[in-house]
Amino acid sequence: MFRKILIANRGEIALRILRACRELDIKSVAIFSEADRESPHVQLADEAFCVGPPDVSESYLNLPNIISAALISGADAIHPGYGFLAENPEFVEICKDHNIVFIGPTRETMTLMGDKAMARKTVIAESVPVLPGTDVLEEDREAFSFARQYGFPLIIKAVAGGGGKGMRIVTNEGELRDNLSIARMESHRSFGDDRIYLEKFLPDARHIEFQILADKLGNVIHLGDRDCSVQRRNQKLIEEAPSQVISPYMRRKMGDAAVRAASAIGYHGVGTVEFLFSPDTSRYFFLEMNTRIQVEHPVTEMVTGVDLVREQIKTEMDEPLDINQRQVFIRGHAIECRINAEDPDKNFMPSLGEITRFRLPGGPGIRIDTHIFRGYKVLPYYDSLLAKVISHGKDREEALIRMKRALYEIDIQGIKTTIPFHRQMLNDIQFRQSEIHTRFVENMQESIQ
């Protein structure tokens, strides 16, 4: 049993972890930058340490200061949340060197799944389908040879990629030539690794992911699927559980593939196996595995009743899973809208400033995960996510009705947000009929222009 957990993050996920600690009767230690001194996670934690100025490189990515805070506080473990240090193998090793448990996968597992090229080879060995793709590109001529064999469109991907960085969709040889060097530079700037590879691109595919839960005893289950097809530049905007295009048979088949992939690498904790699904052909292809808690985890919690963060912590305490696959039941439908500090009318340009008015929605079937408050200052140093509005209903129609009500009630003034975009989406006939795909938002914007 952990006595104390340091939360190496900020914002709504820091609060989410803190609440799980409270329910498990585990003391919590917050870290914060000078800009986050008044944030709720700092106020609610049992202890809090300032780890540096607002810039993330000097605070939330400041490994010596974070480890010092853990040692001074006597923390048994560190929970990284998502982003920042959640997928940093070096940090995992540093925690181990200081006898601090990292709440997440091992360094080896994280490194394997973080290398997209190696991840492809791993799942292929487990008979999990993947799209046609190249190995790591050593020379540009390999890319053109692949393009001539498989045709366009193609997608250039960073081997160490994530969050859409180092990713470029190309539709002809000219675009391929222009974007290879751009993708390499962006990958190196974002990840310190300029390796890239090519995959065949499915323009009308759905983005379907399966939530994995595994203990250290070898028990691995999935908690159903999420549809994350509403996205812009590979950044998710709306997520749902379960998908409306997956049949019960296909759900079992894809779920089994996700479990095989996680089992093959000896995975433990929570993770997400992501697929592209073609509704026209009913074929699915492995996309990647995220070795951390996801932003969209609440929709899975709403339809399964499983507290994922709590279970994640318990697996690190060597506890076996409380449930098996037969005990996983999907109840109703859940939708999550990410409320970001961005202006949809200006191509989702970041919006900075002070929140002058703030009203939360409520009522049956509504959950809000947020860290903001009236007077909160949106600064350029951090992710633009302000809040997650989650609705749950007996079916998708009820979940949509409740989300529409919640988006009518929520009020954030002083900055621009994506609330108008979400209201527009919920009134869109194609979205209401679940006729969406990963290019849906871009196509909608092009039609407006």
Catalytic residue among 195, 232, 292, 402: 292
Q: Is the peptide bond before 242 cis (omega within 30 degrees of 0)?
A: yes
Q: What is the DSSP letter of 284?
A: E
Question: How many angstroms separate the CA atoms of 62 and 177, rounded?
Answer: 38
Amino acid at 141: R
Residues 6+ apart with CB under 8 A from 8: 31, 60, 66, 78, 79, 80, 81, 84, 85
**Lookup result for tokens 């499915």:** 202
CB of 84 closer than 8 Å to CB of 295: no
Q: What is the DSSP letter of 133?
A: B
CB of 351 closer than 8 Å to CB of 415: yes
Q: Is 206 among the catalytic positions? A: no
The helix (H) or strand (E) run that includes residue 227 is strand 220-232
Per-residue H/E/C for 90-118? HHHHHHHHCCCEECCCCHHHHHHHHCHHH
CA distances from 410 to 230, 297, 346, 372, 387 (A): 21, 21, 21, 13, 11
Instruction: Please give the positions annotated as active site.
Output: 292
